[in-house]
Structure 1
Amino acid sequence: MKAETTVLDIQGQHRVYTEFYRADSAEQTIILVNGSLSTTASFAQTVRYLHPHFNVVLFDLPYAGQSRKHNRHERFLTREEEADILLELVEHFACDIVLSFSWGGIATLQALARKPARIQRAVINSFSPIVNQAMLGYLSRGVEVMDACDRENIGAVLNATIGKHLPSLFKRYNHRHITSLEDYEYAQMNFHVQNVLKMEGRSCIRFAGEIEIPLLFVNGEWDEYTTPSDARMLTQYVRHCEFRTIAQAGHFLDMEHKAAWMQTRDALLAFLLPHELRSQEAPQERHALAV
């Protein structure tokens, strides 16, 4: 499975690295939206179960991953601008579905509130509309170490909090990735965190009610930072939404262990695929995870 890669010009302002996984028999295309400080590599497990059914698009925001060398980083990118970029990519790749992870859900919900005509459904993983006490503690500690540009402790904070249920191999990868980032990446994340803290997490609620397509919210049973119960508060604002809880999983869902990978896969495909196609395809995918 080899990606077609390209760097796209977005409105003459940003250069965005993309990966396109083409599935010859697929009738729909799904675009995946990263969480904070993440890159296309973080979706490696997710692509494995989506790709046989969909064309899959991954991308790095201008300040991250393989996009960063193509951009000048003269100012911070707002969530509204991240939503603009997402919508441009949706049009370019003719996407039908959006799937976001963690803080990627903020820009995704903003984009969906603009009612893009192409998008039919969306999945929002590991997201909630409020900043609870556990998340507040994580963000507050994160601000401290990012302000100090303390690379070792930034990695340690992530692995001790939202990454606590990851396998040791993935924790090592996370730590290596986080400690290798540029100063402006920490500054960009700090900018987003400060905005969320000022809004107390309310930034998505004011436009969630504008979303008309069906949404699926997926959260881990053990995720104390974006809990299943907190996510269900979105029923007050989103017209058409469903919820799934992944048993014995934390914030990173399909990355944490094989059973969580299979549950996440089944939840997503049950929401996104016609029933008859799911029943035909699911049995032959049981081998897909190698951790």
Structure 2
Amino acid sequence: MKAETAVLDIQGQYRVYTEHYRADAAEQTIILVNGSLSTTASFAQTVRYLYPQFNVVLFDLPYAGQSRAHNSHTRPISREEEADILLELIEHFACDLVLSFSWGGIATLQALARQPRRIRKAVINSFSPVINAAMQDYLERGLQVLSACERDNIGALLNDTIGKHLPSLFKRFNHRHVATLHDYEYRQMGFHVETVLNMDGRSCVSFAGAIDIPLLFVNGEWDEYTSAADARQFAQHVRHCSFQSVQQAGHFLDMEHKAAWLQTRNSLLAFLSPSHNSLIHTFRQHQAHALAG
């Protein structure tokens, strides 16, 4: 399994590193959207069960991973701009499906609210529409260490909170990764944290009602930061949504242990399967006939 890599020009403003896992028998293409401080490497466990059932596209945002060397970093990038980048990549790779993780859900939902013509379904992992007490505390503490560029404390905070259910090997990898980032990456994340705190989650639900495709929300049973109960509040805003809780798993779902990997895989593949697609297509046809009549 080897990816085709490229650095793409996006709207003449950004250069974005991409990985494209192309499967000969796959009929659909899925694009994966990273969470904060993450790169394409974060989806290694996820690619294992999506490929070769699907063509899989990964990318690093302009300030992260293998994209950062190709861009200037004079100002933070907003979630709206991240949504612009995602929509451009969806068109370029002719994507049918989207899967986001954690804070990648904000830009993903913003992009979906613009109703991209190609996308048929999306999976939103480890995300909720509210800032609960645990998340509020995590973000406020995170903003302090990000603003001060306290590298070791940033890594420790990540592993002590949302990453506390990860195996020790993954915790060491996380700490090494986040403790060696550039100052502008910390400023970028601090900018996003401030935006989330100021909006108190309202930026997610304000446009959720415009999303007209089926969404699956997947959350870990033990995730107190983006809890399964909080995620279910999306049912008040999204027209076609379903929910899945991964048992004995925290925020990082398929990275935490084999049983969580299997549960996450089974939930995603069941939702994305061709038979499920046919049901949705039939439902939409009936809707169209009803409106026409």
Q: CA RMSD in A?
A: 1.0
Task: Answer whether contact 2:270 2:276 (CA < 8 A) is retained.
Answer: no
CA contact (8 A) 2:83 2:111 kept: yes
| TM-score, normalised by the number of residues in structure 1 | 0.94
Q: Name the counterpart of 1:234.
A: 234
Kindly indicate whether residue 137 of structure 2 is the aligned counterpart of residue 137 of structure 1. Answer: yes
- 1:74, 1:145 → 2: CA distance? 21
- Using a 3 Å threshold, how does the CA distance of structure 1 residues 274 and 75 change in structure 2: closer, same or farther? same
Tell me if 1:82 matches 2:65. no
- Which residue of structure 1 lines up, in the alignment, with residue 177 of structure 2? 177
Runs of 4+ in 1 over 3 A off after TM superposition: none
SS of 1:209's equivalent in the other structure is helix
Q: What corresponds to 2:192 in structure 1?
A: 192
Q: Helix, strand or coil: the match of 2:210?
A: coil
SS class of match (2:73): coil
> What is the alpha-carbon distance in structure 2 between the residues aligned to residue 201 and residue 186 of structure 1?
21
Alignment match, 1:91: 91
Query: How far did residue 105 of structure 1 move?
Result: 0.2
> Are the aligned partners of 2:95 and 2:119 in contact in 1 as well (CA < 8 Å)?
yes
Amino acid of the residue matched to residue 227 of structure 1? S
CA–CA distance in structure 1, aligned partners of residues 274 and 194 of structure 2: 41
Unpaired segments of 5 or more residues in structure 1?
Answer: 278-291
Query: What's the CA shift for 1:274?
Result: 2.6
C-alpha separation in 2, matches of 1:211 and 1:92: 21
CA offsets 1:211-240 (integer angstroms, 9 cap, x no match): 000000000000000000000000000000
Matching residue's letter, 1:196: V
Please say if 1:244 is aligned against 2:238.
no
Structure 2 residues without counterparts, runs of 5 or longer: 278-293
**1:276 Cα deviation after fit:** 9.8
> What CA distance in whole angstroms lies between the structure 2 residues aligned with 1:264 and 1:276?
17
Aligned position for 2:110: 110
Q: CA deviation at 1:147?
A: 1.0
* Within-5 A mapping of 1:1-291: 1-275=1-275
- Give, in whole Å, the separation in 2 of the partners of 1:208 and 1:276: 22
1:26 is displaced (CA, Å) by: 0.1
Query: TM-score of the superposition, structure 2-length normalised?
Result: 0.94
Residue 149 of structure 1 aligns to a residue in which SS?
Answer: coil
C-alpha distance in 2 between matches for 1:186 and 1:137: 18
Residue 157 of structure 1: SS of its match in structure 2? helix
SS for the counterpart of 1:268 is helix
Cα distance in 1, alignment partners of residues 153 and 87 from structure 2: 35
Counterpart of 1:11, as a letter, is: Q
Residue 127 of structure 1 aligns to a residue in which SS?
coil
What amino acid does structure 1 have at the position aligned with 2:223? D
% identical equivalent positions: 76
Secondary structure of the residue aligned to 2:219 is: strand
Tell me, yes or no, if the aligned pair for 2:17 and 2:60 is still in contact at 8 Å: yes
How far apart are the structure 1 equivalents of 2:252 and 2:67? 23
2:85 aligned counterpart, secondary structure: helix
Q: Deviations over 1:155-214 (max 9, x none)?
A: 000000000000000000000000010000000000000000001111111000000000
Find the aligned partners of 1:5 and 1:147 in 2 and give their Cα distance. Answer: 33
Letter of the 2:247 counterpart: A
| Structure 1 Cα separation of the partners of residues 268 and 276 of structure 2 | 15
Structure 1: distance between partners of 2:58 and 2:121: 17
CA distance in structure 2 between the aligned counterparts of 1:222 and 1:105, rounded to whole angstroms: 19
Aligned length: 277
Equivalent-residue separation in structure 1 for 2:77 and 2:201 (angstroms): 18
Report the Cα offset of residue 275 of structure 1.
Answer: 4.5
